[in-house]
Amino acid sequence: MASEKVIVITGASSGIGAALAGQLGSRGQRLVLAARRERELRQVSEPFGRNALPVVADVCQRSQVENLRERALAEFGHVDVWINNAGTGIARKVMELTDQEFDEMLAVNLKSAFYGMQVIVPHFKERREGHLINLSSFLSRVPFVTFRSIYSAAKAALNSLTTQLRMDLAAEYPGIHISLVMPGVVTTEFAAKALREKRHRRRSRRGL
């Protein structure tokens, strides 16, 4: 069909990424789905047959993000939409964070999207069109759960990085669209875990 697009989704093995794959795949779009968990990733892609290419990838590694783009181009010839969705969180308030946790959360929630932007935008520039979508969170603006401190901070940085890229491209490349999506609470494993942690911390403060 003429409306078919080639869409890359990172973090596609569960949650929002898997839901996006399901909706887009059911509409006949061609999908390139990336995640670290191979079994779950194949389960998401299997219903769409040759219209879906699963690529096991750690998007915290630039070389693996570059390989993801090359696999997409080799399979489908071009990319229309690239969705940086991969992300994770931990339950730590600011004063509880270790250096390792800080670095890991920035890598998964910020640097992975940064790699995605730098990898796919040159392809969009060559075609003078394309759509980059970065998945952020309302927690980047609202301190609803303070123990998601570094996750929220990384997403706030992603908000700014996305806006800067949009401004950089707007004048010379009007056919390239840069979008930022900030979901609220959704019914995913990630959100359910955050709510459980919030209730647990409240009970702990009360001595329950």
The pTM score is 0.88
Q: Closest Cα partner for 148 from 96, 188, 112, 187?
A: 96
Q: Is 115 tagged catalytic?
A: no
Which token pair is 181? 């999506």
d(CA 154, CA 89): 10
More confident site: 87 or 191: 87
Q: Exactly one of 52, 151, 155, 158 is catalytic; which is it?
A: 151
pLDDT in tens, 2-25: 479 999 999 999 999 999 999 999
Q: Closest Cα partner for 194 from 146, 127, 161, 153?
A: 146
Q: Write down the pLDDT at residue 202.
A: 42
6-205, what's its fold? Answer: Rossmann fold (3.40.50)
Q: What is the DSSP letter of 185?
A: S
pLDDT in tens, 82-128: 999 999 999 999 999 999 999 999 999 999 999 999 999 999 999 99
Cβ count near 80 (within 10 Å): 17
Amino acid letter for position 28? G
